[in-house]
Amino acid sequence: MARWNERVQRRKELAQLQERLETRKLVDRAKGYLMDHQGLSEAEAFRKIQQLAMNSRKTMREVAQAILLARQLSA
């Protein structure tokens, strides 16, 4: 039973790590877009995403997805 619980716990940890990695990739892509199209530094782009997330009570992932979606719509 202990091995089963350990295995379940490791699967949960793996899923969380995969989610965090995907979020980081999305935020990095959104930062890149903001840097290219708004002339922001990397730190400024990150801070802008962070502030938008806080002000709209959304996660940084949701904000990054919205930025990337808007980019697709404007292309």
pLDDT, residue 57, reads: 98
Quote the DSSP letter at residue 1: -
pLDDT, residue 1, reads: 84
Q: pLDDT 10s digit of each residue in the chain, 75 long?
A: 888 889 989 999 999 999 999 999 999 999 999 999 999 999 999 999 999 999 999 999 999 999 999 999 987
Closest CA to 45 of 29, 24, 61, 21: 29
Contact 42/27 with Cβ under 8 angstroms?
Answer: no
- In sequence order, the 6+-apart residues with CB closer than 8 A to the CB of 49 are 27, 30, 31, 34, 60, 63, 64, 67
Domains and CATH numbers, the chain: 2-74 (1.10.10.10)
pLDDT, residue 75, reads: 73
pLDDT, residue 69, reads: 96
